[in-house]
Structure 1
Amino acid sequence: MARKKFASCRLKLVLLTSFIAWSTVLSLDSSPGNHSDELRIGGIVDLTTHIGKEERAAMQVAIEDLFSDVDLNSPTLLIKDSRGDPTRAVSSAKNLIKKNHVAAIVGLRTWPETFFVAEVGNKSKVPIISLSNEVPSWSDSNRPFLVNAARGQFAQMKAVADIISSWKWRKVNVIYEDINSAVSAIIPYLISALQDAGSEISELLPLIPTLSDHSLSKSLRDLKNGQCRVQIVHASAPLAAKIFTKAKRIGMMEKEFVWITTVDTMNLIDTFDASIISSMQGVLGVKSYYSRSTMQFKNFRFRFNRKFRELYHHEPFHEPCVYSLQAYDAMRALSLALTDGVPRSKSFRNSTNNSLMLSISGEKIVSRISESNFEGLAGAFIFQKGILSHERIFRIINVVGKSYREIGYWTEKLGFSESTGAASKYNKSMRLLGSVFWPGGPWSAPRGWALPTSAEPLKIGVPVSNSHKEFVEVIYDQLGRGVVVKGFSINVFDATLKFLPYYLPHIFVPFNGTYDSLVEQVKLQNYDAVVADTAIVAKRFQCGEFSQPYADPGLQMLITARTKNINRAWVFTKPFSTTMWITIGIINVYNGLVVWLIERNFEVENQNNDFREGNLPYQIGYMLYSAFKTLFSLNVDNLRSHWSRLVMVMWLFLALVLTQSFTASLSAIFSDRGNDLAIVDVETLRSTGAKIGCDGGSFVVVYLRDVLKIHPDNIVRIYSEDDYAQALVNEDIAAAYLEVPYLKVFLAKYCKGFTTSGPIYKVGGFGFVSIVSPLNCSGF
């Protein structure tokens, strides 16, 4: 009986509990706050942050401003605190949609929150208006109810890169907050921008917001011990404040250090207290730009400050930041989408207009917001291909004293300027903006690097068995240790290091072997680089990466200076050929005969009897003598006939040309510096089977064999520069092939008795080798 009574009581209790639950649900559905004609807008923000508090105040100001002149009741703004947790954000969104029946949800500062809440919006067909600056461009492809109302700030990374480029810093360290949105969005843009500016990242330091002070100090000390002194900080304001406080404590805010921050920090610098500002002295930063001189902004600032004090009277007073302006503009776009077509009159308010507002579908709201076109507080609110136009202008600020100073502006595709007006002058270099106060107090720009306190030097291989000591020579002491490395290649390397914008610790490691084996050591990572007279050839590219050539490329033949056998007694005949000499003689005889015939028959007083007197042999001899004499003297006046004089003038002109040509040709023969050197070419050497010398451990051996088709038995390997001269003089070899830099050194050392011959075959020249990814290093 007791059990039956207990079961009966238990059943009555369950029924009573169910009745109370249903009564509660019915009372909620019929409560005054849930009337079907009441418009509600949801807001999900992180109220544990200053940004979330500003966004809440800006949203409420926007509703009060935008619905004050519309013929309907002001909507109810229901704010939920996500605390930065995506799970809480999703739960809040479901609650706002299912229980409160909101027309749209605004907020969601981070991409993880936006990502999950957008899925809820898609299923419920409720517009989700995100205020995250890191929403990827592909997000709207499968989320039709998601609208990103915050401006993308990817262009700020170009501004940071231009700052780096202005001071010609080639290496930077990047400290960033390790959250998925930062890694997937901003950091790749920074890496790309730095590459375009000619800089590279030396160290990437990811930090989590909950990182302990000890771990943060250790990470920063590791950066301090390196040589790079340029630090880029991309982190939220709370984490950035911890970073700078700790950096000052360990001595990283001193001379030679450079700190550059992004908008995530600088947009909230007005909220930092004096202790944080004091630890940021000399920091250079990029801050979002918006006009503070318009009447619209001044009115908003007055109402915003009053609302913020009302909501958070214990919070210190601050100027509204760009995030509150974005929240206001987003709420304005939503309000315009909801009130499109509603009478804007205060004369009466009716439920018809409210019902009209509530009947707008989520698709229509999204479409109207995407078609927005107005000048907002944070800039032009215009969508292009579904994406809000990104920020193009940023402020460049410098932390000095108790606050910061605005030193100029950066505009995308234009560069730096001192103002933003139409008459502004732009420059790609930040130096236009004047002096910058750097950490540690100096106004002169830091060089961006320093000697590292702990760094392993690069191991650089140098050849020991080098036949050309003028380029690389290793000198050992009595104990057999390499103590001095010198030569032209070493001098070029040392001179190059002086132009590097950072310190490069290194040691030279002697290597006894062929050049191919030396380069292969780089592939095997036994050496970090090779500094030598290393020829740039295809085979070696498989083992290392070459620098630009620092010596003339080419391969040329070296021979002894020999002359042809020339009979100097008859050298005067060389200017003209035999045929030419015969032709000159015939013309000379013919000319004399013509003159003789004309003058012999010419009878006048005091006529010239030389053409008439004497026998026939005498007349012929006189005729030839007269003709030949005209080459050296003028005897036209002795002629009596005008026809004779005409013939003689023509002959004199021809004689002048002949004598001038003869003189010039003979002078060229005697002034030939080469004394008519014997010609030697590779075809002759190949056909005669002559011996050809080359460096024994060089690629030239393979080049002669495979390219110039010299028989291997005719290739003589030589291992000392001095042996070339002896082998050529003794005719052990007919010629030698040397690379052009070696050839110049040889001819400078042996000034007489040797010369070059034949064409210069183009090869890569000399270069330095550095390590790359391991590849196959076999074959030529």
Structure 2
Amino acid sequence: MLDFLVLVHALRNMIIFILVCSSYVVHARTIGGIVDYSSAHGKEEKVAIKMAIEDCCAFVPLHRCVGLHFMNSGKDPLEAAASAKKLIQTKNVSAIIGLDRWEEAGFVAKIGNTSQVPIISLASDIPLSALKQWPFLLNMARSSRAQMKAVAAIVQSWQWRKVTIIYEDTISSVNDIFPYLIEALSEADVAIDYYLPLQPLSPSSIQEKLRVLQSRQSRVFIVHTSSNMAVNIFLEAKRMKMMKKESVWITTDGITSFIDSLNSSTILAMQGVLGVKGFSPFRSQVRYKEFSRRFKAKLRSKYPTKKNMDPGSYALNAYDAVYTAVLAIEGKPNPQSLANILNNNTAVQSGQELLARILDRKFMGLYGEVNFKGGALAPSSTFQIVNVIGRSYLQLGYWSEGSGFSVKIDKGSSYSKSMKILGQVNWPGRASTVPRGWWPVARTANRLKIGVPGNSTFKGFVNVTYEQPGGKATVKGLSIDVFIAVVGDLPYSLDYDFVPYYGSYDSLVKEVYLKTFDAVVGDTSIMASRCEYAEFSQPYSDSGLQVLVYTKGKTSATRAWLFKKPFTTWTWIFTAVINLYSGFVVWFIERQTNRDLRGSWFKQCGTIIWIAFTTLFTSLQGDQLHSNLPRMAAVIWLFVALVITSSYTASLTSLLTIQNLNPMVTNVETLRRTGAKVGCDGNSFVVKYLVDVLKFEPHNIEKIYSEDDYPKALKSGKIAAAFLEVPYIKVLLATNCDGFMTGETFKAAPLLSDISEAVLKASENGTIRNIENSLLSSYKCSEPDGDAEYSLGLDSFWGLFAITAAASTLALLLFLFPRALPKWPNLKGVVIETEPEQGMHSLLRASASSQHDPVDDERVLFNAELNRQ
């Protein structure tokens, strides 16, 4: 009986166990993983997915733990599709994670869409159109757009202008190259010299393909392949001596993240490589550090040959993908903690519901925020910049989209567009200097053909000579020296040959458009019409058109009359009139008391003139005058004479030292109005400019083809002025400094954009000049004529002339007024008689004698005059 009870009890326990197991089978949810067991990506993903399942199961009872089934893709999209179908049909998986290649994800997406099983792909290059076409396809990896911008930022930072792209010829790589990398390089003004696609299944062809690169000039290589392909590339490049100085190698995250997993020989072959590596903003958190420690330990135990294997972006994305799926399978729409979610027992009932929950997930994962928008996660914006050196790599710093390079990712960190902020880089070949990125000598590439003007008027800029007729040309000059210096400062080398061209400058520029020349070097002006055929660099000299004239020295005949130039004609006339008038007043008053001032009219006229003009050069002493009235007039008169003589001396000195040249004609209007001959370079645009813009008559334009002819033509008077570009003017003034002077300048602006081109056209057709003239004409300022600006006119002396005239007139009126009265007052008390025989003492003897008082003499003369009356 006891045995029966024991048997019944055992049977009951067995039934309970079977029911429990059946319940587990019915209600359990499983996740499928499809990875490539042979690739470094797949190995990391497999370890990360298992760790995520273990972490999820740690919070729930064993019977509710999410199951996991792995399948190998074998790098074959068809095999991946077969594995997905098997997982869905036989393992009843709720979601599939993995598929880090778009070729595989594309095949599996169709199956997942039909079966309504979410496919969470780790491929970074899934097109948005595919996500819309297959709603059950989700992209857990971030877009490569920002990563390609980081690569372009490195190239731009070191001013490399051409690159070669080496990529694996798969849909995944192509989707990253086109358009992300091409777009990023274009924005950085970097040209792609060559595309080198490599077949993933034929590594033996790598040597042949790399040999093609040896024959090209570009030495900046961007490698975007799988890590397995990269191993073959760098080992072969090392063997072919392509990893030496002056070369640059840049790898993307698909290679850089697995550098630590590579063997020592491969790392030695990659010395000096710059790499862009995915970066998790949560690396400093405890959760990430704990995961990284466990991840390294598990990877090392499973793959002992790998050392210091940090989790890459694929491993982090795989871990976050599992968390996303588990949260959606067992959780609520907006979870707060994993333990609470997994204990809620709200399992999904359909694939559509599971998809909705996955898309609704929003939490912080190990690699960043998980928040699906349109079936994809937001792209990463920060990447590590590493440099392969020694047995591993050195972390140089970071690159952040919109900010640039920085040493740290902290608040207050300084950013720069230049990678130089990250410090010294170890370049290939152990070079410390920045590589130029070009082969020093192109092996098969054509050398650049640089056209130079063979008939340049000014040989100082471009001078083409031949050692013998038909021999090799030697090109020298300022333009050539500038070009050589500029090329020497470029971050890459150029191979070129100078080819002389004998024709107009316009046709020379057109030859660039016709591909006859790769470029033109010379004294070529930037013109709007020429910009239709070529682009111009920044000008290396002053731009513009300037007038040059020659001024001859004064002839002896002209200098003979230079003494009259300090005063204008009217100033001379009024000076003479005022002097004569003042001398007349003094003579008229003084003659009453001074016998020497009397005599014949001829003598008295000479005396007046003598008194008037000697005052300008000698001082008339006050004691020579016997009356206060002439003294009053003489004081003002002497002051005016002092001012006039001083002004004359100063003006004449200025004329003798400064204005020793003939008047210059530098005004375009004057030249055009008078029909003067003007000269210009017959090979340049100036001929057309003078006719079309400045409106000179064609027959008044003298075409000159040698710089030595300009001084001769100007000195001989063959031309009145020369119109030359500013650099040519400097050359002529440096070699002919005596008598040559410049006039008006006509500006012409350089251009490299549409606005600049429009400004240049406005300058050439005279629009800007007309606007300037319209503005200046509103200011009514007339130009002085001839020497008038150097001669002193009446406006400088009319005040002095008026004062001295008024003083002399007043003295004369005061003298005549008493004599005009009918009766003269009794002055007997003041009359002093004297004998007439004694005569009159002259004005000069009276001034020298000390025996007679001038006042007494005046009284005697006055008394004698009264007696006669």
> Is the pair's TM-score, using the shorter chain for normalization, greater than 0.5?
yes
The answer for the alignment partner of 1:335 in structure 2 is 326
From 312, 320, 335, the equivalent of 1:321 is 312
Per-residue deviation, 1:245: 0.6
The answer for the alignment partner of 1:538 in structure 2 is 528
The answer for the alignment partner of 2:457 in structure 1 is 467
Deviates more, 1:50-59 or 1:324-333: 50-59
Per-residue deviation, 1:702: 2.0
Hey, what's the Cα distance between the residues in 2 that align with 1:701 and 1:123?
78
**Distance change (3 Å), C-alpha of 1:546 and 1:652:** same
Per-residue deviation, 1:145: 4.4
Correspondence 1:516-527 to 2 at 5 A: 516-527=506-517
Correspondence 1:626-641 to 2 at 5 A: 629=615
The answer for the alignment partner of 1:151 in structure 2 is 142
Hey, what's the Cα distance between the residues in 2 that align with 1:632 and 1:85?
121
Hey, what's the Cα distance between the residues in 2 that align with 1:111 and 1:587?
110
Q: Is contact 1:289–1:395 with CA below 8 Å preserved after alignment?
A: yes
**Distance change (3 Å), C-alpha of 1:165 and 1:495:** same
Hey, what's the Cα distance between the residues in 1 that align with 2:131 and 2:627?
112
Q: Does 1:760 pair with 2:745?
A: yes
Per-residue deviation, 1:239: 0.9
Hey, what's the Cα distance between the residues in 2 that align with 1:702 and 1:696?
10
From 679, 698, 710, the equivalent of 2:665 is 679
Q: Is contact 1:397–1:406 with CA below 8 Å preserved after alignment?
A: yes
Q: Does 1:703 pair with 2:651?
A: no
From 205, 210, 220, the equivalent of 1:230 is 220
**Distance change (3 Å), C-alpha of 1:690 and 1:41:** same
Q: Does 1:297 pair with 2:288?
A: yes
SS in structure 1 of the partner of residue 529 of structure 2: helix
From 245, 267, 279, the equivalent of 1:255 is 245
Question: What do the CA deviations read for 1:72-130 (whole angstroms, capped 9, x no partner)?
Answer: 71223343433344444455555555665544333231234444544555565544333
Question: What do the CA deviations read for 1:644-684 (whole angstroms, capped 9, x no partner)?
Answer: 99998888877776555544433332223561324254444
Per-residue deviation, 1:157: 3.6
Q: Does 1:495 pair with 2:448?
A: no
Q: Does 1:205 pair with 2:191?
A: no
Per-residue deviation, 1:176: 2.3
Question: What do the CA deviations read for 1:751-780 (whole angstroms, capped 9, x no partner)?
Answer: 446544x4222346899xxxxxxxxxxxx9
**Distance change (3 Å), C-alpha of 1:107 and 1:664:** farther
Q: Is contact 2:359–2:372 with CA below 8 Å preserved after alignment?
A: no
Q: Does 1:613 pair with 2:593?
A: yes
Correspondence 1:62-73 to 2 at 5 A: 62-70=52-60, 73=64
Hey, what's the Cα distance between the residues in 2 that align with 1:344 and 1:702?
82
Per-residue deviation, 1:275: 2.5
Q: Which amino acid aligns with 1:554?
A: G
Q: Is contact 1:127–1:365 with CA below 8 Å preserved after alignment?
A: no
Hey, what's the Cα distance between the residues in 2 that align with 1:293 and 1:208?
40
SS in structure 1 of the partner of residue 509 of structure 2: helix
**Distance change (3 Å), C-alpha of 1:333 and 1:687:** same
**Distance change (3 Å), C-alpha of 1:732 and 1:186:** same
Q: Does 1:79 pair with 2:59?
A: no
The answer for the alignment partner of 1:361 in structure 2 is 353
Q: Does 1:46 pair with 2:36?
A: yes
Per-residue deviation, 1:143: 5.4
Hey, what's the Cα distance between the residues in 2 that align with 1:299 and 1:506?
59
Correspondence 1:109-120 to 2 at 5 A: 109-115=100-106, 117-118=108-109
The answer for the alignment partner of 1:394 in structure 2 is 383
**Distance change (3 Å), C-alpha of 1:659 and 1:189:** farther
Q: Is contact 2:143–2:380 with CA below 8 Å preserved after alignment?
A: yes
Question: What do the CA deviations read for 1:231-281 (whole angstroms, capped 9, x no partner)?
Answer: 332221011100011011111223333322221111011221222223223
Q: Does 1:669 pair with 2:655?
A: yes
Deviates more, 1:467-476 or 1:189-198: 189-198
The answer for the alignment partner of 2:235 in structure 1 is 245
**Distance change (3 Å), C-alpha of 1:527 and 1:432:** closer
From 701, 706, 709, the equivalent of 1:720 is 706
Question: What do the CA deviations read for 1:44-67 (whole angstroms, capped 9, x no partner)?
Answer: 333342312322332232123224
Question: What do the CA deviations read for 1:620-644 (whole angstroms, capped 9, x no partner)?
Answer: 9789958984897596899999999
Hey, what's the Cα distance between the residues in 1 that align with 2:336 and 2:182?
51
Higher alpha-carbon Rg: 2
Per-residue deviation, 1:325: 1.6
Deviates more, 1:80-89 or 1:60-69: 80-89
Deviates more, 1:647-656 or 1:240-249: 647-656
Q: Which amino acid aligns with 1:267?
A: S
Hey, what's the Cα distance between the residues in 2 that align with 1:259 and 1:346?
47
The answer for the alignment partner of 2:5 in structure 1 is none
Q: Which amino acid aligns with 1:759?
A: E
* Unmatched 5+ stretches in structure 1: 1-30, 601-609, 768-779
From 412, 424, 427, the equivalent of 1:438 is 427
Deviates more, 1:357-366 or 1:456-465: 357-366
Question: What do the CA deviations read for 1:594-630 (whole angstroms, capped 9, x no partner)?
Answer: 9999xx8xxxxxxxxx697248977997899589848
* Unmatched 5+ stretches in structure 2: 1-20, 599-603, 753-764, 766-869
From 674, 680, 691, the equivalent of 1:694 is 680
Q: Does 1:403 pair with 2:392?
A: yes
Hey, what's the Cα distance between the residues in 2 that align with 1:239 and 1:345?
39
Per-residue deviation, 1:428: 4.9
SS in structure 1 of the partner of residue 428 of structure 2: coil
**Distance change (3 Å), C-alpha of 1:658 and 1:360:** farther
The answer for the alignment partner of 2:171 in structure 1 is 180
The answer for the alignment partner of 1:774 in structure 2 is none
Hey, what's the Cα distance between the residues in 2 that align with 1:711 and 1:435?
65
Q: Which amino acid aligns with 1:761?
A: F
Hey, what's the Cα distance between the residues in 2 that align with 1:262 and 1:547?
34
Q: Which amino acid aligns with 2:48?
A: A
Hey, what's the Cα distance between the residues in 1 that align with 2:719 and 2:316?
86
Question: What do the CA deviations read for 1:199-234 (whole angstroms, capped 9, x no partner)?
Answer: 544433232323442x32232233234444333322
Q: Is contact 2:536–2:751 with CA below 8 Å preserved after alignment?
A: no
**Distance change (3 Å), C-alpha of 1:494 and 1:594:** same
Q: Which amino acid aligns with 2:168?
A: E
Kindly report the root-mean-square deviation, in angstroms, between the aligned alpha carbons of the 2 structures: 4.5
Deviates more, 1:59-68 or 1:680-689: 680-689
The answer for the alignment partner of 1:456 in structure 2 is 446
SS in structure 2 of the partner of residue 232 of structure 1: strand
SS in structure 2 of the partner of residue 535 of structure 1: coil
Hey, what's the Cα distance between the residues in 2 that align with 1:533 and 1:639?
78
**Distance change (3 Å), C-alpha of 1:628 and 1:195:** farther
Q: Is contact 2:579–2:612 with CA below 8 Å preserved after alignment?
A: no
The answer for the alignment partner of 1:278 in structure 2 is 268
SS in structure 2 of the partner of residue 173 of structure 1: strand
The answer for the alignment partner of 1:265 in structure 2 is 255
Q: Which amino acid aligns with 2:31?
A: I
Hey, what's the Cα distance between the residues in 2 that align with 1:236 and 1:415?
27
Per-residue deviation, 1:368: 1.6
**Distance change (3 Å), C-alpha of 1:313 and 1:732:** closer
Deviates more, 1:77-86 or 1:697-706: 77-86
Deviates more, 1:60-69 or 1:587-596: 587-596
Aligned residues: 720
Hey, what's the Cα distance between the residues in 2 that align with 1:640 and 1:125?
137
Q: Which amino acid aligns with 2:388?
A: V
Normalising by structure 1, report the TM-score: 0.78
More helix per residue: 1 or 2? 2
Hey, what's the Cα distance between the residues in 2 that align with 1:347 and 1:690?
100
Question: What do the CA deviations read for 1:391-414 (whole angstroms, capped 9, x no partner)?
Answer: 344333333333333344444455
The answer for the alignment partner of 2:120 in structure 1 is 129
Q: Is contact 1:552–1:766 with CA below 8 Å preserved after alignment?
A: no
**Distance change (3 Å), C-alpha of 1:617 and 1:162:** same
**Distance change (3 Å), C-alpha of 1:280 and 1:558:** closer
